[in-house]
Amino acid sequence: MKRIAVLASGNGTNLQAIIDAVESKKICGAEVVLVLSDKKDAYALTRAKKHGIKNKFFDPQLYASRQEYDRALVAYLQEHKIDLVVLAGYMRLVSPEFVEAYKNRIMNIHPALLPAFPGTKGIAAALDYGVKVTGCTVHFVDEGMDTGPIILQEAVTVRDDDTVESLRERIQKIEHRLYPKAIDLWVRGKITIQGRRCFIDE
C-alpha cells in the first residue's frame, strides 16, 4: 500500500477529490496518510480531520529559510514513510533539496496547458492573453516553476463571456478527475519517465 502525503495551502478541493477517489477505489493500492499545510487556517486541514487523516500545520515562521523549512518537512515525510508527495494548491515553491529527496515522486496540478502560463496566475494570464483554449496539467515537480515532466493534460475551451471565476470553475471540474487518475497511474506503476517525457502504459 503506497503512502501519500498531500501538501495544501487553501480550501483543498483537489485534496477532497483525491480522498474521495481513494475511498471509492478509483485510486487503488494507496492511502492518504498525511495532510500538511503552511497555513494555519487552511480548510484542507479540516477536510483531513473529517476523514480521520493525520494533519499538521507547518509554520514557516519557525524556520530561518525556505531550505530549513523544507528540510524539516522532508524529515517529517520520511519519518512517516511517504511514497508520493502531492501538491494540491500548495503555494510555496519547493527547494532543490526537497525535489532531490523525492525525485519523480512529487506531483503538482496547474490550471493551464504547460508550458504556457506557469506561476500562480495561470487562469488570469490565459484569459488576458486571449487564448481560445486553456486547460490543466498534472506534472512531476522539478527545481523550476511548473517545469517538470508532464503526466496528463486536458483542454478547456475559453468562452467569449468567461471571467476568471467561470473559467476556474470549469478547469477545476477537470482537475478533480485528472489528478486522481494521474495518481492512480503512478501507484499502479504505469508511468515511465524518459528525459522530459512521461509515457503512460494503460
Domain ranges of the chain: 2-200
Give the containing element (helix H, strand E) for 198.
strand 197-200
- Supply φ then ψ for residue 194, to 5 degrees: -130, 105
Evaluate if pTM is beyond 0.75.
yes
What the block records as the C-alpha cell of 101 is 529527496
Three-state DSSP at 152 gives strand
- Residues serving a catalytic function are 110
Helix (H, G, I), strand (E, B) or coil at 136: strand
pLDDT for the residue 114: 98
Superfamily classification of domain 2-200: Formyl transferase, N-terminal domain (3.40.50.170)
Q: What is the pLDDT along the chain (202 residues), one digit of tens a residue?
A: 999 999 999 999 999 999 999 999 999 999 999 999 999 999 999 999 999 999 999 999 999 999 999 999 999 999 999 999 999 999 899 999 999 999 999 999 999 999 999 999 999 999 999 999 999 999 999 999 999 999 999 999 999 999 999 999 999 999 999 999 999 999 999 999 999 999 999 7
